[in-house]
Amino acid sequence: MISRAERVAKIIEQRSAYLPKKIATVEKELQARASALYNLENHREALLQNNVNLQIWEPIKAINFADIQQRISSELLVLSKLRTRFSRNSLNIGVMGLMGQGKSTLLKSLSGLSDREIPAYEGAACTAVRSVVCNQEGAIEVKVVLHSEKTFLEEVILPYYKSLKLQPEPRTLDEFAQTSLPDQMPTGATDEAVYKHLRSDYFQNLEKYRHLIVPEIEPQQKVVPVEEVAEYVRQERNTQGELITFKHLAVREVNIFCHFKNPDVGKIALVDIPGLGDSKLGDETVMLETLGTAVDVVLFITRPDPQRYQWRKVDTDIYDIAAQELNNLAGRAFMVINHSQRTQNMNACQALKDTLQLKVVSCEIADCSNPDDANQVFNRILNYLADHILEIDEEYARQSQERILKIQQDINLIIQSARKVFSGTDSNLSRVIDDKYDELFGTDRYGWWREITIAFQELRLEFAKRCQLPSHSLESSIEKVYKDCKENAGILTANKPEEDIEVQIIGSNPMKAYGDYRDLLRTLLSDRFSNLDEGLKETTEEVKARIAEILITLGRLDIFSQSLAGAEFIKAFRELLEQEHSDLKRLQLGLQIIDSFELSYSSLIEPQIYQHLVALSNIQLPNDESQETTLKVGPATKADLILNALQIDYDRTVAKIKAALEELTYQPSIAAYARIEKFIDNIIYHEEAQKDWKKFLRRVRAKVWAEEIGKLEQEQQIQQDWLNIVKGLEEANLVETVQFLT
C-alpha cells in the first residue's frame, strides 16, 4: 500500500509538473490584454478631450473599461498565488492564532524541536518572526532570511509612518536614523502602543541590529548554527517592557529543516504565522502574504481561559482575514482548542467546541504540549491533505479558469462595441478624401491646376515684354558705379595730386611714375565695376521671388515648418523633391532650373570691362594701332603733364566702359525670360508635368488643403488608429492562450 509520504510526494509532483509554467504564460497573456485595454482606453480619453467627431461621443463613452481592468488585476493576483503555491516542493500547514495560545508549543510537539529553536514562554509574544519548519531527514539546519534595506523600510518601518501619519517618510536607513520622531505620544491607546513599538523598539535600537540588514534590494539568506537560532527569533523584554534582544528586528523569516517524529509525514512544512495582538504593525500583511502563497491548509489554535471562556470577535476576525486569502476556507481550516493541564481548562475547551460557529473541516480538543495529542491532530490533517488537497486546488484553479474565460468573453464584447464606434460616420473616408482631392486639384478648366497654369502664363508674358526693355537694376547699378568712378578717382581726386606725383618722380623717374599711376587707376576701375554684380543678383532674386510667390500663394505650398520665401523657398522645395520624392523627375528638373539661375558678373560684364581697361595697362600689343598714346614721357616730363595725361586716360576709359555696358542692359531681362520660359516648359507644359504635380500634391495634400483634406485625413487616422488598437486587443484575446487547465 502506498504510504502517506509517497502520496504527498505524488501530489507535489502533479501540482508542479506543468501548472506553474502554464499559469505564468496565462499571467503574461492577461497582462497583454490589460495593456491593450489601457491603450484603447487612453486613446478613447484622448478622443474625448480633443472633441473629435461628436457623433462618436456616446458610443465611445459607453465602453466600460474599469470593471474589466479590475477583474484582470484581481485574477492576476489569484494566478500569482496559484503559481507560487503550485511551485512549492512541500505541502504547507499554516498555524495561526493570537499570541500565547500555544502555537510554538504545538510546533515543537510536532517537529521535535526544542525551546532553543522555537522559544515559548508564558504571557508574552516570544517568537517575533515568521517561521517555516520543514520535514527533512538529517541534522537540524536553520536558514535565516535577513531584511534588505528596501524590504525593511517598506515592510516594517513605513507601515508605522503611514498608520501614525508621520512625515517625511524615510527613503533610506540613514534618513530613518537621523529622523526626528515627536516626543509627544499620539492620543489613543492603540496609536500609543504602535508608536512605542516604532520609537522604543526599532528607532532607539537601530544601531544594535542595523549591521544585519543587507544593503541589497533583495533579502539575503544566512545559515546559522542551531544554538544561535533563538537569538534571531526570540524577543525578550525586561520588567519595564524594554527589549533586551535585537537581532529579530532585522529578520524577515526563519526556515528550519528537521526530521519530524511522525514516521509518515513526507514533504510537509509547518508555517508559524505571526500572531496578532501586540501592536506590532506588519503582522497582518505578513499573514495575508503567507496565507495566499505559503500554506495549503490552516490550523487555528485557541486556548480558553478556564474562568472566562467564549468565542470572541478577535477569533472571527482572524478567521475572516484568512478567508480573504484562502479560497474555500471551510475546506481548508482546522481548529485545535488547546487543553492546558496547568490551567485545568477542559470545561472551557468543551464549551468552545460545542458553540463553534466558524466553518472548519474539524475541531479537536488537544493538549498541544503533548506530542501524542498533537500528532493525532496532525495525522488527521495529513490524511485530509493527501485525500483532498488536489481536489480543492483543482476546484480553485477551475474557478479562476472560468473567471478568466468570462473575462475573455467580456473583452470580446468590448471589441464588438469598439468596432461599432465609427459606424454612424462615413466609414469609407479614403474614397471621400480621394474624391475631394481630385476635385481640388482640378483640370485645365477649374481648380488648382488651372489657377497655377494661368499664373505662370501671366508671369511668362510679363517677362517676355521685359525683353524689349533694359534692366532697370543693371542700369541703376551702372549709373551708381559711374558716379563713384568720377567722384573717387584715386590720384585724380586727391587733395594735392601734383605734389604726390612729384614725390613719385623724385623717387624713381617720370616714365615709371606715369606707368605706376596708370596701373593704379586700372585696378581702381576694376574694383569699382565689380560692384555691378549686385545689380545682376537683383534680377535673379526677383525671378525666384516671383515664382516662389506663385507657388506659395496660388499653389498653397507653404508646407515647410519655418516660413520661407524667394530663393530660400525655391532651394528648400528643390531639396524636398530630391530627398523625399526622387521619382518626380520633371518637377525636380524645373526647380533645379530656377534654383541654379545666376547672372554672373565674370561671364557677362567682366569681358566688356577688361577689353577697355587694357588701354590703361602698360602693355603694347603687337600691331595694335588703335591704342592711343596720350603722353610720351621723357626724363624732363613734369608732374602737371602726367596728371593731365592720367585724367585724359581715365575719362576716356570710363566713357568707353560705360558705353559698352549700356549695350548689355537688355541681357538680364532676356536671360530672366529665357529661364522662366524653360522653367514653365518643364513644370507646366511638359507631358509629365501634370502627372508629377498630381503625385506630389496627393502626398502633401493634408498640408496643402488643411481645412478641406487635412481634417478628413486626421479623422481617417483617428479611425485607423482606433481600429488598429482594437485589432491588437482582438489578437491578444485568443481564448486558447488563457486556458491552463485541460
pLDDT in tens, 530-544: 777 676 788 889 999
DSSP characters over 421-478? TTTTS-S-HHHHHHHHHHHHH--SSSHHHHHHHHHHHHHHHHHHHHTTS--HHHHHHH
**Percent of the chain beyond pLDDT 70?**
93
Per-residue pLDDT tens for 693-741?
Answer: 999 999 999 999 988 898 888 878 878 888 898 999 999 898 888 888 8
User: Mean pLDDT throughout 443-467?
Assistant: 93
Listed by start position, the domains of the chain span 1-88+385-424+704-741, 90-141+260-368, 432-703
Residue 180's pLDDT is what?
A: 85
Q: What is the mean pLDDT of the chain?
A: 86
Indicate the residue type of 173: L
Q: Per-residue pLDDT for 119 more than 80?
A: no
pLDDT at 358: 94
Cα 447 to Cα 455: distance, rounded to the nearest angstrom: 13
For residue range 53-75, list pLDDT tens digits in order: 556 667 777 788 889 999 999 99
Q: Comparing 166-170, 421-425, 585-589, which segment has the lowest mean pLDDT?
A: 421-425
DSSP 98-166: STTSSHHHHHHHHH---TTTS---TTS--B-SEEEEEE-SSS-EEEEEEPBHHHIIIIIIHHHHHHHT-
Compute the distance between CA of residue 256 and CA of residue 265 in angstroms, rounded to an integer.
Answer: 16
Omega of the bond prior to 59 within 30 degrees of 0, cis?
no
Task: Catalogue the long-range contacts made by 330-333 (C-beta closer than 8 Å, 24 or more residues apart).
Answer: 330/359, 330/360, 330/361, 331/361, 331/388, 331/392, 332/296, 332/297, 332/298, 332/361, 332/392, 333/297, 333/298, 333/299, 333/300, 333/358, 333/359, 333/360, 333/361
Percent of the chain surpassing pLDDT 90? 37
The pLDDT tens digits of the residues spanning 71-102 come to 999 999 989 988 988 888 889 999 988 878 88
Q: What are the backbone angles phi and psi of residue 59, rounded to the nearest 5°?
A: -65, -30
Reported as a single tens digit per residue, the pLDDT across 425-440 is 555 778 888 899 999 9
- In angstroms, the CA 376 to CA 364 distance is 10
- Round to whole Å and give the CA distance between 246 and 241: 14
The helix (H) or strand (E) run that includes residue 375 is helix 371-419
Please tell me the predicted confidence (pLDDT) of residue 549: 95
User: Average pLDDT for residues 677-681, to the nearest whole number?
Assistant: 94
Determine the average pLDDT of the residues in 146-165. Answer: 90
For cell 505620544, name the residue: 185
* 122 class by beta-carbon count within 10 Å (0-12 exposed, 13-18 middle, 19+ buried): exposed
CB 334 within 8 A of CB 300: yes
Query: At a CB cut-off of 8 Å and minimum separation 6, what does 297 contact?
Result: 93, 94, 332, 333, 334, 361, 381, 384, 385, 389
**Per-residue CA distances from 172 to 3, 151, 175, 306 (Å):** 52, 11, 5, 48
What gap in Å lies between CA 248 and CA 261, rounded to an integer? 28
Instruction: Name the pTM for this structure.
Output: 0.64
Exposure string (b/e) for 654-679, b if CB count within 10 Å is 16 or more? bebbbeebeebbbbbbebbbebbeeb
> pLDDT at position 445, please?
92
Residue 245, helix vs strand vs coil: coil
Q: Where are the alpha helices (DSSP H) in 225-282?
A: 229-233
pLDDT at 124: 45
| Nine cell digits for residue 580 | 523625399
pLDDT score for 620: 59
Query: For 545-590, how does the pLDDT look when each residue is reduced to its tens digit (9 = 90+)?
Result: 999 999 999 999 998 878 899 999 999 999 999 999 999 999 999 9
State mean pLDDT over 501-527.
84
SS3 label, residue 271? strand
Cβ proximity of 43 and 725 under 8 Å: yes
Question: How do residues 583-630 score in pLDDT, each as one tens digit?
Answer: 999 999 999 999 998 876 656 677 777 777 777 776 655 555 555 678
Q: Cα dihedral angle (260, 263, 265, 266), rounded to 10 degrees?
A: 90
Express each pLDDT in 350-376 by its tens digit. Answer: 999 999 999 999 999 999 999 999 999
Find the range with the poorest average confidence among 418-432, 463-477, 649-663, 668-682: 418-432
Q: What is the pLDDT of residues 641-661, one digit of tens each?
A: 888 888 888 888 888 888 877
Taking the C-alpha atoms of residue 381 and residue 276, their distance in angstroms, rounded to an integer, is 24
Q: Which residues of 487-498 are buried (b: 16+ CB within 10 A; e: fewer)?
A: eebbbbeeeebb
Please, is 112 exposed, middle or buried when counting C-beta atoms within 10 Å of its C-beta (0-12, 13-18, 19+)? middle
Say if residues 153 and 173 touch (Cβ distance below 8 Å): yes
Query: Cα torsion for 127, 133, 139, 140, to the nearest 10°?
Result: -20
Distances (CA, A) of 594 to 454, 571, 634, 693: 19, 9, 57, 17
Residue 257 has φ and ψ, to the nearest 5°, of: -110, 120
The rounded radius of gyration (Å) of the Cα atoms in the chain is 50
Q: Does position 51 have pLDDT exceeding 70, yes or no?
A: no
Let me know: does 115 contact 444? Beta carbons within 8 Å.
no
**What pLDDT, on the 0 to 100 scale, is given for residue 619?**
63
The tens digit of pLDDT for each residue in 298-325 reads 999 999 988 888 898 888 988 998 898 8
139's grid cell: 541534522
Name 42's Cβ contacts closer than 8 Å, sequence gap at least 6: none
What is the side-by-side order of every strand in the sheet holding 362-366? 220-224, 141-146, 251-258, 130-135, 268-272, 91-96, 297-302, 333-338, 362-366
Note the pLDDT of residue 125: 47
Sign of CA dihedral 88, 92, 98, 101: negative
CA distance 488 to 525: 10
The C-alpha cell at 436 is 475631394
- Containing 209, the helix (H) or strand (E) segment is helix 206-209
What average pLDDT does the segment 123-144 reach? 79
Q: Inform me whether the pLDDT recorded for 31 exceeds 90.
A: yes
Predicted pLDDT at 403? 93
According to the CATH classification, is domain 90-141+260-368 in 3.40.50.300? yes
Which helix (H) or strand (E) segment holds residue 323: the answer is helix 313-325
Q: For 20-36, what is the mean pLDDT?
A: 92
Looking at the predicted structure, is the pLDDT value of residue 681 above 90? yes
pLDDT (mean) for 672-686: 93
Question: Quick check: 242 and 200 in contact, CB under 8 A?
Answer: yes
Beta carbons of 430 and 436 less than 8 angstroms apart: no
Amino acid, res. 288: L
The kind and range of the H/E element at 535 are helix 533-552
- In this structure, is the dihedral angle defined by the CA atoms of residues 88, 101, 319 and 264, taken in order, positive or negative? positive
Contact in structure between 583 and 696 (CB atoms under 8 Å): no
Evaluate if residue 396 carries a pLDDT over 70: yes
pLDDT for the residue numbered 407 = 93
Residue 123 binned pLDDT confidence (cut-offs 50, 70, 90): very low
- Tens of pLDDT along 196-250? 888 889 999 999 999 999 887 888 999 999 888 888 888 888 888 888 889 989 9
For residues 312, 313, 315, 317, the Cα torsion angle rounded to the nearest 10 degrees is: 180
- Is residue 15 scored above 50 in pLDDT? yes
Please give the Cα distance from 249 to 152 (Å, whole number): 9
